[in-house]
Amino acid sequence: MAGSSGSSVLVDMVNIQKSFGKVKVLINVNFQVSDNEIVGLVGDNGAGKSTLIKLITGVHQPDGGDIFFKDKKITIHSVGKSRELGIETVYQERALGEQQTLWRNIFMGREKTNRFGFLRVDEEKAEAEQILRTQMGFTSKAITTDSVVSTLSGGEKQGIAIGRALYFNAELIILDEPVMGLSLSETRKVLDFVLDIKKKDKSAIFISHNIYYVYPVADRFVILDRGKIAGEFLKKNISQDDLVEKMVVLARTGKLS
Ligand SMILES: Nc1ncnc2c1ncn2[C@@H]1O[C@H](COP(=O)(O)OP(=O)(O)O)[C@@H](O)[C@H]1O
Ligand SMILES: [Mg+2]
């Protein structure tokens, strides 16, 4: 029972193995996400963080081990299958269609059509407006449903992608380095959106190699080091400084103090 508050496990990855060619990228990895839990997945570049979450999102298949979703053993053979289960990934760059309007983006892949297959534009726009103002909390008049995505800031794009996932009831939202390259104020916005996930009773995996971003929003930290789980800590049991110190020692000695 790895959950932060004794809640039930949403995703349970057991004894996962993954190699690319002869390189073992994930070795005997056990990883869980509980209901309404934000897990900070941390570790140096190349540790295997992205590969691990790609096994949940159906981009790659594990070579060994089992994945359980809500206690049921499953095979996630495609990104579509993962989405069907309620798992959404927010990628910094590929989250949204850059040259398209916001309302189009919100319904991308979930278009509303009439019985002849035509897009119900007015309905999508009206609903998008509603989502933007009430669900996502965008109050600025500068952003409308007709805004083209490329005119938004990095943080705003992330916010739209997270808000969209929540609106369509994603149970698990995966954020892979969501604040990389963002300014401090933009980063703050994204972190607020991550906290919305928690408020809406959903779960998230927040990947970063920077503890300072993950610490304030995560309930639990899982440290991946060269393909292995080096350690796990509940936030209530470790301070930010101690966690940083552990990472420094790990990088220097290959061991968690
Ligand atoms: N598709 C792939 N083919 C071959 N090697 C890969 C592939 N994806 C990742 N790797 C390798 O696996 C290791 C872990 O990568 P990755 O999961 O992206 O780490 P992280 O996200 O922690 O930085 C790296 O050595 C990387 O080069
Ligand atoms: Mg990565």
What is the pLDDT, as a whole number, of residue 224?
Answer: 96
What is the pLDDT, as a whole number, of residue 94?
Answer: 62
What is the pLDDT, as a whole number, of residue 87?
Answer: 95
Q: What ranges in the chain are assigned the alpha helix state H?
A: 49-56, 79-84, 102-106, 121-130, 154-167, 184-199, 211-214, 240-253
What is the pLDDT, as a whole number, of residue 1?
Answer: 46
Q: Whose CA is nearest to atom 17 of ligand 1?
A: 48
- Measure Cα distances from 107 to 45, 58, 85, 146, 226 in Å: 33, 21, 18, 13, 38
Task: Ligand 1 pocket test: pick from 26, 51, 89, 180 the residue with the most ligand atoms within 8 Å of its Cβ.
Answer: 51
Closest atom of ligand 1 to 51 CA is 17
Q: Measure 51 CA to ligand 1 centroid, in angstroms.
A: 6
List pocket residues of ligand 1, CB cut-off 6 Å. Answer: 20, 25, 43, 45-51
Q: Measure 98 CA to ligand 2 centroid, in angstroms.
A: 22
Q: Measure 142 CA to ligand 2 centroid, in angstroms.
A: 33
Domain boundaries, the chain: 9-96+170-253
Closest atom of ligand 1 to 224 CA is 22
What is the pLDDT, as a whole number, of residue 95?
Answer: 60
CA distance 103 to 108: 9
- Report which bound ligand comes closest to the CA of 25: 1
Q: Measure 214 CA to ligand 2 centroid, in angstroms.
A: 15
Q: What ranges in 41-96 are assigned the alpha helix state H?
A: 49-56, 79-84
Sheet holding 64-69, edge to edge: 23-34, 9-20, 64-69, 72-74
| Residue pLDDT tens, the chain, 257 long | 444 445 699 999 999 999 999 999 999 999 999 999 999 999 999 999 999 999 999 999 999 999 999 999 999 999 889 999 999 988 766 667 778 888 888 888 788 888 888 888 889 899 988 888 887 777 778 888 899 988 888 888 888 888 888 888 899 999 999 888 888 888 988 899 899 999 999 999 999 988 999 999 999 999 999 999 999 999 999 999 999 999 999 989 988 87
Q: Which CATH number is correct for 9-96+170-253, 3.40.50.970, 3.30.499.10, 3.40.50.720, 3.40.50.300? A: 3.40.50.300
Closest atom of ligand 1 to 177 CA is 21
- Token pair for 251: 């990088």
What is the three-class DSSP state of 192? helix
**Backbone phi and psi for residue 104, each to the nearest 5 degrees, phi listed first:** -65, -40
Tokens 């149970």 sit on residue: 171
Q: Measure 25 CA to ligand 1 centroid, in angstroms.
A: 7
CA distance 43 to 251: 9
- Token pair for 120: 């119900």
Q: Measure 22 CA to ligand 2 centroid, in angstroms.
A: 20
* DSSP string over 151-175: GS-HHHHHHHHHHHHHHTT-SEEEE
Count the Cβ atoms, other than its own, within 10 Å of residue 28: 14
